[in-house]
Structures are given as C-alpha cells and as structure tokens.
Structure 1
C-alpha cells in the first residue's frame, strides 16, 4: 500500500514566491499542525501534568524562580514570573501547544515553501511535531511560554522577511531566546540557514560567525547581568546537577563519560527506548544526507553546519562543566533531522520513481507514528493526575474553607503514581495540591521537625488538628491514604 501518491506529489520550484503565497502556505500548515498537536496532546489538555519547578511560573511566584537567574541565566523567564496575571494550567498548556504548532508550520514553510507543494510542507510540520525531546520539555509549558513565542515569531518572520533582514535580527533574537532556553538559539539558526538563497562557503562562514558572535554576546550579557545583580560574573550550577567543572584538558577528558551518557540518553529518548529505531534514524539521516549531497550539496552543507555547530556547543558544555545534558535540550537535533529527511524526499520525488515513493511513505510513517507515541506519552501521566485529583476532591469536601494544613507522612517518591511519571521531587505533591485546593502541604518525610511543630502549635493554640495523609501499601501498591485529622 502506498500512502503518498506516485503522481502529482512534486511541483517544480517556482522562481519566486510572493508574500501572500507564503502566508497561505503558513496558514494551511498551521491549521494542520494545530489539529495534529491537539489530537496528540489530548490526554494532557484538560488537566496537564506539570513538573515541580514549572509551578512557580503557573502561580506567578518569582521568588521561587530567582535562583535560576544565577544558576541558568533565565532572565526572560524570570520577567515572565512578574507578569501579575495567573491563568489556569490548561490554558497555558493550550497556548504552548499552539505556539509549538505555529513554530513547526513556520519551519516547514521556511524549508519547503519554495517547492510550493502542501504535501511536503504538511509532512515536515508533522515530522517536527513528533519530536520526543519537545514532548518532554513541554511539561515546563508555563515557564517556557515567552521563549517559545520568541522563537515562533522569528520563524514566522523567516517566511516573509528578506535574507538580509532576517540575519540583521538574528543577534537580538539569539540573546532574548538565550534568556529563556539556550538551545532555542539553534532553532533560530536553522531558520537563517533554510532561508538562504545564494549559498556559498564564504556566505556560510559569515553566517556561522554571526551566530557564534551572537551566542557569545548572549553568554557575556548574561554573565554581566549576573555580576550586576548577584555579584557573580557567570552562572553557578545548582548542586543537584552534580557538576565536575574541568580546569584543563585532563579535566575535560575525565568528563567524557558525561558526553557519552548524554548521547546514550538522547538515543534512548528519540527511539522511545527501542534502540533499533534509534539506529534506523541514524541510518535514515545518512541516506538523506547522501541524497542531498547528490542533488543540493550546498544546502546539505548549510544544514549540517547548523546541526553540528549545535551538537559541538552542547558537547563542549558537557566536557567543560562535567554534566549530563538532559535529552529535552536537544529538540533542535530532531528539527534538523526532519528538515534533511523531508528535503531529500522532495528531491527524490522530482521523478516518479520507487525511491521517491519509498521516502514519502517512510517520512509519513515516521511523522504519524511519532505523533501516536506523543499521544501515549501524555497518557503516562494519568496515574499521578488521577490519584492527586481524587485526594484533592476529598480534601475540598472535608475542608472547603482551607482552614487546616496538610501533613504528609511517608516518602512521596515511593508512590506508584510518582514512579509512573518519573516524579523529580516530592515538592511536586506540595504544588499539585496547592494548584487543586489551595491547601498548604508539609512533607514530613523531608521536614519532620516542621510537622511536629505544626501539630504542637495547633494543639497549644486550641486550633483544629491538621489534616494527615500517609503513604501506605494498598494491594501491593503505594498509595496516598487520607486525609484524616491528626491524632
């Protein structure tokens, strides 16, 4: 069975595209992307799962994010915490997914718009949307909203602006996006690389120097702001990263295992822990690159220059700082991979042959299968969402006026639902209950003295006892038991 028709798939490139044409292409691609991402993320739309350190952005509490300005240089995100407007989680997640759909559509038009055929544009947009690292990082949707908006804006401008104007704006957008998430800059570079018309080695060197200079300026400005505000010129990595900064070549060599672990995790994530699929992607990238080298060698050079420049900077960070870079930071790799594969597919489709048909079918199968995996990934958070929601409903019935705190005895991380979602910190329960009911939650496993003091204080002052919840075995499963009055 052939998913992509053998005829009428490819339209020869037109010499020029008017802005209205590209606007129409962008709108069509956006509606396709929006429908696809809303279907793929449907399990997480109504009550989205939130990582514990994304809650300060949801609640608009900048004091809990202040440390990340020094530890990660996230100044744009900090300003977002100061907005003074709190919107529900479902709305923030929906807005994030809309921006992600817009970015995928704009990238697809930027890469494929010259062919003028909607099939390739839609296929590339769907391919990009299925990125596993992008799905992982979407759980920080409230924090990353402004940064994703900046990147999406630049990609949209890339569909309309001239090459010169786009490059003139690159330093500004790199600096601003760096203050949201550093690897966003590599997506901005991809837009510039794809929209270059007259390609040459000299032009590529100029563009790469412009990007590297912009990235260096972003780092320098971040360090300067930290020096002015915190009194420290640089960023201090948080203790939980267990960094081993290298002071010389020997230290960087000692950090090589961190680089290997970084790419091992990335391969596992991109293949959903099915390693043959990961090797298949590597093989497909090599084949697609070979096709591009044959039909458009300069374009292949441009795309791979952007891809490997990003990889090199991430490897350098891992070697220098001695940290394992999380897979969610590598969304840009999947974007470059998708563009290379679909561009190669378009080139093979110029002639109605078997190779073009096979590549079209392969492209569509990858795109749809990874969107299906995205759907299943979002369903994985249901155990935690369901258990905490049921607990919150009990608490609301018992204490609708929010008059008593909640004391949780036992290790929250031992809950089966917490393990199912790979809960990073037990604080996730504290913030989750605050989100659902507004109750203050104290974790007695990590703060036993605080629980003892609260119980004694309320007893001495004649106040109703706090609510107690325990982590207990229930039919060979660890579940939340309660709430019930202390004592």
Structure 2
C-alpha cells in the first residue's frame, strides 16, 4: 500500500496545498475578466465628489468622515502624500476585488472539479451589484479592499484557529475602512470552515460579536480623544432620526421596507422576472445543501442573517436608509450557495447537475454583461467634461456655471450626486450661479437663466473675458 505523500503534513499545510491551485485558477480567470468588463471605465474613471480627497491625497477633505463614519484607516490612506492617476487607482481597486473574489471562491469550494467550480464562483462573485456601485469611490476604498483581499488570502493558508485569532485585528481594520466590511470577514470565516459543528458556529458568532463590539468601542474612544465625541454621530445630510423608545423604533419600519425594496431592485436590475429567478434559485440551492451538507447550509445562512440583522438594527435604531453598496455580503453568500449546490449536484452525472451548472453560468455571464453595460453609462459625462476642461484651459479668465447641472442628461445618466463635481473635474475655480447667485449677477439673462430645451446641450460661451458653462434645463 502506497503512503500518501502529505500524510504527516499539518492540516494547514495540506489545506494550503489544495487551495493554491484553485486560487491561481480562479485568479487567472477573475482578474482579466473583471478588467475587460470594466474597460469602458478605466481610461477615464467616474469619480464621485467625495472620492476626490482620496484621489488627490487631501486629508482635510476626508477629516469629517473620521467623526461621522469612523473611517480612520481611510484617513491614514489620505495622508500618503503620493498622488496616483485615477485610472491606476481604479485598476488597483478592481484587481483587489478580483483577488478577494478568487480567494473566497477557493476557500468555499471543496475537492471535486475544484478548479472549474472555483473559477465559476469567482466569475459569479465579480459582478456583485453592490461592488459595482462602490466603483466611483475606488480611490477611497483601496485600503479596505486590501484588508479584505489579505484576510481572504490568509484563509487559504492558515489553520481555522489561526485565522480566527486574527479576526479581532482585521475586524478593527475593516470597520475603520468601511463600516460593513467586517461582515465580509465573518462570511470568509464561515465559508472557509471545514470542521463544522453547532458549538463551533456559536463560538465563532460570539468571537465576531466581541470583535465587532471592540472595533466600535475603539473608534468611539478615538473619536472622543480627537473630536471630543464618544460615538459616531451620523452626518446630518443623511437626516438621521435616532429612536429613543420602542414606538419610534417601529415607526422606522417604512425606512426598512424602502431599504430592502431598493436592494432587491438593484440586485435584479429592476426586473421582477430576474428577481423571481434568483429567489427560486436560492430556494433550490438551499434545499440541495440542506439535504447534502446541512451544516454548511446553516453556516452560510447564519452569515446572511447575521448581516441582515445588523443592517435592520441600524435602520430601525438610527432612522436612516442604508445604500445598496453596503450589502456586498448578500451577493457573496448567494453566489456561494448556488455554486456549492451546483457542485454537489454534479458529483454524479445526470440532468440535475447540468441544469444547476447552466443556471450558475447564466447568472455569472449575464451579470458580467450587464455590469459591462452599466460601466458605459458614464461615457457621455466623461466625454463632455473632458471637452469642457480642454476648452476652458485654452481660454483664460474666470469660470461660471449656469443652469441645472444635475438635470443635464449626461449628468443624470452618470448618477451625479453634487454639482461640485464639475469644479473638481475642471480643476479650476468655478462659480456655480445656482449656489452663489450674487457672483453671477453681471451675466445677461440668456446666460444666467438659460431657456429650457427639449434635448439640453451644454455649451461654453465667452462673456467679457469669462468662460460661462451653460446647462439649459429640460423642457
């Protein structure tokens, strides 16, 4: 009888030996595909107004978020003193997400056509709608995604015990990068666990709860020392309405309904048939895993419901809606559930396995195509603002912007949040007449109050040595 060559290797070593080929296969597929899907946004990435401080390494522009969001790791990133181009930051953001997806896929897939299923799971993770919605903040989120990529990578090479010993430290780092990133760490721990049991699940939840509470208290203490406030008071711009009693808590149920409605709409690209397809696939996948791997199904659903419970508590307690980009963990766990079910059904030849594999490929490929299409939404605004910046730089003088910038078709298509983005895009001092009308009092009415047009077209006009960007409202 031939002895297995790894018979006397430690468990972590044997696991890493099996994980590495699957990870490399998933990476080899995930990173190039993700860059190809986002190619339309690489040369001139869309940048939201509050991502410019990270892009330009201006910590003063991010300082307030250390108080209102507790994002201290991101603030340290703003202190780096090195400015890199937006396209490089976006590419790095995408690579980090691709590596994270590949590592999660390798950790989730046990032996049995492992490379194929790891690659498919990585492809299913890549077009996660919440991560796509994060892309306009790529410069800000680089350190947070680096933390996720590192932790997911460590899950491939460390023992279960060693990984969990690191959870408190990584939870603090993740929380100070993006407050819901710790939920991905919990998902990674639950996904990568191989020796599952109810006591183990309970112990991990207690460890995560303590780690999360410790991270929150650490940020509270830091805010108290630096800002004189023990806590993380929400930005007034979000119109928070903290609940003081049970009645006020229940009064926030419409906000929870709104949050979930928007989430389901974004996850399904506003298509009811697509949403029903996902729900049916999720139910079927859960049934398969409950029958074949019941503890694994319990672990995955525990991660999902733990995350949703924290989100629900935040909505009801603070009286705010939560953006879809904070629900990244939902797509991760959904993808793992459906791919693992497909793998289990494929252990024996037959129609169920083929149907499951085809369903997973349909989700992955259709969402990759949809994501590529979504990245083209920004193209018109990118083209117009490049032309604006070039025209203005060629003609000296003060710059004024009149009309309705946010209602401009290209701006609406790109989902522009604030008109101040225009000033950041041009890189010049710009007076917005809507915000500071006295600065534009000398402009003639045809410029200061442009007439509505059926198909508004932005234009640049010269007036008394000044550049006037005119954005006519829609008729």
State whether TM-score is above 0.5.
yes
Which residue number corresponds to residue 402 of structure 2? Answer: 409
For 1:340 and 1:142, locate their aligned partners in 2 and report how far apart those are by CA, in whole Å: 31
Match of 1:86 among 70, 83, 88: 83
1:172 CA displacement: 0.4
Residue 239 (structure 2) pairs with residue 242 (structure 1):
yes
For 1:407 and 1:444, locate their aligned partners in 2 and report how far apart those are by CA, in whole Å: 7
For 1:240 and 1:279, locate their aligned partners in 2 and report how far apart those are by CA, in whole Å: 35
1:441 CA displacement: 1.7
For 1:268 and 1:134, locate their aligned partners in 2 and report how far apart those are by CA, in whole Å: 15
Match of 2:437 among 440, 448, 464: 448
For 2:452 and 2:98, locate their aligned partners in 1 and report how far apart those are by CA, in whole Å: 42
Contact 1:469–1:484 (CA<8 Å) still a contact in 2?
A: no
Residue 314 (structure 2) pairs with residue 317 (structure 1):
yes
* 1:409 partner SS: strand
1:22 CA displacement: 2.2
Residue 70 (structure 2) pairs with residue 69 (structure 1):
no
For 1:194 and 1:114, locate their aligned partners in 2 and report how far apart those are by CA, in whole Å: 14
Matches within 5 A, 1:118-157: 118-157=115-154
1:115 CA displacement: 3.5
Matches within 5 A, 1:78-227: 78-115=75-112, 117-227=114-224
1:244 CA displacement: 1.3
Contact 1:406–1:469 (CA<8 Å) still a contact in 2?
A: no
Residue by residue, what CA displacement relative to the aligned partner does 1:96-116 show, whole Å, maximum 9, x if unpaired? 000010000000000015435
Contact 2:101–2:122 (CA<8 Å) still a contact in 1?
A: yes
For 1:41 and 1:470, locate their aligned partners in 2 and report how far apart those are by CA, in whole Å: 38
For 1:472 and 1:375, locate their aligned partners in 2 and report how far apart those are by CA, in whole Å: 35
1:165 CA displacement: 0.6
Matches within 5 A, 1:236-315: 236-315=233-312
For 2:72 and 2:357, locate their aligned partners in 1 and report how far apart those are by CA, in whole Å: 42
Q: Which runs of 5+ in 1 are unaligned?
A: 1-14, 457-467
For 2:67 and 2:197, locate their aligned partners in 1 and report how far apart those are by CA, in whole Å: 40
* 1:243 partner SS: coil
Q: Which runs of 5+ in 2 are unaligned?
A: 1-10, 466-475
For 2:24 and 2:440, locate their aligned partners in 1 and report how far apart those are by CA, in whole Å: 55
Contact 1:473–1:479 (CA<8 Å) still a contact in 2?
A: no
* 1:83 partner SS: coil
* 2:347 partner SS: coil
Match of 1:382 among 379, 384, 400: 379
Number of positions where the alignment pairs a residue of Structure 1 with one of Structure 2: 452
1:474 CA displacement: 8.3
1:480 CA displacement: 2.3
Contact 2:112–2:347 (CA<8 Å) still a contact in 1?
A: no
For 1:176 and 1:82, locate their aligned partners in 2 and report how far apart those are by CA, in whole Å: 16
* 2:243 partner SS: coil
Match of 2:419 among 426, 432, 446: 426
Query: Structure 2 vs 1, CA of residues 473 and 384 (structure 1 numbering), >3 Å: closer, same or farther?
Result: farther
Normalising by the residue count of structure 2, what TM-score does the alignment of the two structures yield?
0.92
Which residue number corresponds to residue 336 of structure 1? Answer: 333
For 2:60 and 2:447, locate their aligned partners in 1 and report how far apart those are by CA, in whole Å: 28
For 1:286 and 1:302, locate their aligned partners in 2 and report how far apart those are by CA, in whole Å: 16
Which residue number corresponds to residue 462 of structure 2? Answer: 484
* 1:442 partner SS: strand
Normalising by the residue count of structure 1, what TM-score does the alignment of the two structures yield?
0.89
For 2:464 and 2:354, locate their aligned partners in 1 and report how far apart those are by CA, in whole Å: 68
For 1:161 and 1:65, locate their aligned partners in 2 and report how far apart those are by CA, in whole Å: 35
1:296 CA displacement: 0.5
Residue 343 (structure 2) pairs with residue 358 (structure 1):
no
Query: Structure 2 vs 1, CA of residues 486 and 219 (structure 1 numbering), >3 Å: closer, same or farther?
Result: farther
* 2:237 partner SS: helix
1:475 CA displacement: 5.8
Contact 1:113–1:121 (CA<8 Å) still a contact in 2?
A: no
For 2:328 and 2:448, locate their aligned partners in 1 and report how far apart those are by CA, in whole Å: 39
For 2:287 and 2:461, locate their aligned partners in 1 and report how far apart those are by CA, in whole Å: 62
* 2:459 partner SS: strand
1:228 CA displacement: 0.9
* 1:398 partner SS: coil
Contact 2:433–2:448 (CA<8 Å) still a contact in 1?
A: no
- Root-mean-square deviation (CA, aligned residues, Å) is 1.9
* 1:413 partner SS: coil
